[in-house]
């Protein structure tokens, strides 16, 4: 049996891209705040007061992952939760002042990291690259577990 050409396997290439991103993130952005944590913080900068489920939907994290991210950010006092006055079962999330300062600092670093990450591509190629990976990512949302979709859409 012959070996498979993994350069034609999107999952293999996506994993390699993720490894490169992880390395750059840890060296150029932060060893303390992860990329998913930054995504949650960014969603709360864009719209303070979102609930946990909505934040997870906005940043593409499943329920258990977003819960863990929020717990970790809360422990570091970068965000706080307040009970929703309209629905006592829900918590609304806001960044603390330290969370806002951390987000601001990391935003500058992520911009530099993205320049390094995308350096092999021309401006036109970047536009095409983002269009293609956004389309694949959007289509991948349809492949999620139907139970997760029911909870997410419910």
pTM of the model: 0.86
pLDDT category at 146 given cuts 50, 70, 90 is low
The answer to whether position 143 is within a domain reads no
**Per-residue pLDDT, 97:** 98
- Sign of the four-CA dihedral 60, 62, 63, 64: negative
Q: How many domains does the chain divide into?
A: 1
pLDDT digits (tens, 9 = 90+) for 102-118: 999 999 999 999 999 99
The answer to whether position 130 is within a domain reads no
pLDDT digits (tens, 9 = 90+) for 45-96: 999 999 999 999 999 999 999 999 999 999 999 999 999 888 888 999 999 9
The answer to whether position 15 is within a domain reads yes
pLDDT above 60 for 149: no
- Give residue 35's domain range: 7-120
The answer to whether position 126 is within a domain reads no
Helix (H) or strand (E) holding 91: strand 87-95
Q: Any idea what the CATH number is for the domain that residue 106 is in? A: 1.10.10.10
The answer to whether position 145 is within a domain reads no
């Amino acid at each position: 049996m012959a070996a498979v050409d993994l350069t034609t396997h999107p999952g293999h290439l996506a994993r390699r891209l993720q490894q490169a991103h992880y390395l750059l993130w840890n060296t150029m952005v932060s060893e303390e705040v992860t990329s998913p944590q930054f995504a949650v913080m960014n969603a709360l900068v864009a719209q303070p007061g979102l609930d946990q489920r909505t934040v997870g939907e906005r940043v593409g994290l499943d329920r258990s992952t977003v819960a863990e991210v929020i717990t970790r950010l809360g422990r570091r006092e970068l965000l706080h939760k307040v009970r929703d006055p309209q629905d006592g079962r829900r918590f609304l999330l806001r960044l603390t002042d330290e969370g806002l300062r951390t987000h601001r600092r990391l935003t500058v670093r992520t911009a530099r990291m993205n320049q390094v990450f995308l350096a092999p591509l021309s401006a036109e190629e970047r536009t095409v690259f983002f269009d293609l990976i956004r389309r694949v990512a959007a289509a991948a949302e349809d492949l999620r577990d139907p139970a997760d979709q029911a909870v997410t859409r419910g």
